[in-house]
Structure 1
């Protein structure tokens, strides 16, 4: 019985030693964003607007046989809106 208690106490001591020698849990890497989310949204909106303007210029100038700079004039868009509304 004394030997059983001795083995139990040695096992308990070994478990305590194992707990102490465990490596601490690794923490996850925290990524710091280079650009904040609000700046990303503004950049995406600006790129969409730029693509729309360039698309209108290419469509009006190359496909439509007009002057690409005319796609940026308000009179051109007013004419398109008048056609769409039936005036």
Structure 2
């Protein structure tokens, strides 16, 4: 095996490099914290798998619902407060037909 400038042997194949990563001396290294004491640092290989309490699929559903609620509230504020109409009229189909007719200039 070739050596690096510090005199340590370097792996030449993937299998050899994988074996060196599994070596406990290669995974854990000593570092000094701010108080000067040595402590062992875990590498990413030793972390246990993370269990999600709030799954990603549920997050997507909740975010979609929150976006829909924010859209409806924004429409109600815009139509009711800024437009001097009744806020609940935004939820009626006739209101949107009237707005569509004005936007496309059809009667």
TM-score, scaled to structure 2 = 0.54
Aligned mates of 1:86, 1:31 — CA distance in 2: 57
Q: CA RMSD in A?
A: 2.0
Which protein has greater RCO, CA pairs closer than 8 Å, 6+ apart?
1
> What's the counterpart of residue 84 of structure 2?
65
| Pair 1:39-2:61 in alignment | no
Structure 2's unaligned 5+ residue stretches are 1-24, 29-41
Equivalent in the alignment of 2:20? none
The answer to which structure has the higher strand fraction is 2
CA distance in 1, matches of 2:66, 2:86: 23
Moved over 2 A (4+): none
Bigger proportion of residues as helix: 1
Question: In terms of Rg, which structure is larger?
Answer: 1
